[in-house]
Amino acid sequence: MKKIKIFLVDDHTIFRQGIRLLLNLQSDFEVIGEADNGTQAVSMVQQLSPDVVLMDIAMKGMDGLTATKDVLAVSPKTKVILLTQHENKEYILPALKIGAAGYVLKRAAADEVVNAIRATYQGRSFLDPEIADIVVNAYRQGNEDAYETLTEREREILILLAKGHTNNEIAPILNISSKTVDYHRSNLMKKLSLHSKVELTKYALKRGLIQS
């Protein structure tokens, strides 16, 4: 029997180990590798060409959305499933737009993850039942708002700023210069018509990007 080759990407070792144990119980699954960051994942996927990648979103350095885009560029036949705790449309819709084949919440039952892998491997899309309504409602209402114009990097910086980080603190987190952080900060605030740190934080809270 041909096994589905799976690659795991998550910056929490214990979580990866748990997922690996779960998947190894399936006779048609084979976990062929894992990475704890997006940059490493893209490089290894290019070498290993897995059938399916389970990708976290929030990771240091390259985030999961950017990594997904790069994975699909170097390995077009690979299916990427976002396996994450983020359940708001600011993450879900961009993930689907860049080509993710599935989106599953980390609190989902084990069989949901298994079903998602088999479905995407067979060429179908898979959405966690808990977020299906979010996607449908977003498209009914129209999702082309100012937030949708932000780049992945601008979204990362928006969240970090809203959490109270300064430009100098954000720079090493994202492996960029403080000057580059300031450039992205100016751009995102202009796109969102925000004029102060307080407005930025309120915006992030309202959209569910950070917790109060």
Same domain? 41 vs 126? yes
Q: What is the pLDDT of residues 100-148, one digit of tens each?
A: 999 999 999 999 999 999 999 999 999 998 888 777 776 666 545 678 7
Q: What is the pLDDT of residues 69-108, one digit of tens each?
A: 999 999 999 999 999 998 887 788 889 989 999 999 999 9
Residues 6+ apart with CB under 8 A from 193: 146
Rounded Cα distance between 191 and 176, Å, is 21
Domain boundary among 91, 107, 141: 141
Same domain? 104 vs 167? no
Q: Which CATH number do you get for residue 36?
A: 3.40.50.2300
Domain boundary among 100, 126, 141: 141
Same domain? 124 vs 170? no
Same domain? 41 vs 104? yes
**Position 192 in a domain:** yes
Instruction: State both tokens at 125.
Output: 């899309």
HEC string for 125-148 = CEECHHHHHHHHHHHHHCCCCHHH
Same domain? 137 vs 151? no
Residues 6+ apart with CB under 8 A from 81: 52, 53, 54, 55, 100, 101, 102, 103, 104, 116, 117, 120, 126
> Going edge to edge, which strands form the sheet with 29-35?
29-35, 4-9, 52-55, 79-84, 102-105, 126-127
Three-class DSSP category at 93: helix
Residue 167 has pLDDT above 90, yes or no: yes
Same domain? 10 vs 63? yes
Q: Tell me, what's the pLDDT at 143? A: 47
Q: Tell me, what's the pLDDT at 141? A: 61
Percent of the chain exceeding pLDDT 70 equals 96
Sign of CA pseudo-dihedral 35, 38, 63, 175 = positive
Rounded Cα distance between 26 and 114, Å, is 8
Which structural domain range is residue 175 located in?
A: 146-207
Q: Tell me, what's the pLDDT at 211? A: 80
**DSSP 8-state class, residue 3:** P
Instruction: Report in angstroms the alpha-carbon separations of 152 from 128, 171, 188.
Output: 23, 15, 11
Q: What is the pLDDT of residues 20-63, one digit of tens each?
A: 999 999 999 999 999 999 999 999 999 999 999 999 998 888 88
Please provide the average confidence, as pLDDT, over all residues in the chain. Answer: 91
Q: Tell me, what's the pLDDT at 88? A: 80
**Position 40 in a domain:** yes
Q: Which CATH number do you get for residue 155?
A: 1.10.10.10
**DSSP 8-state class, residue 88:** S
Same domain? 134 vs 177? no
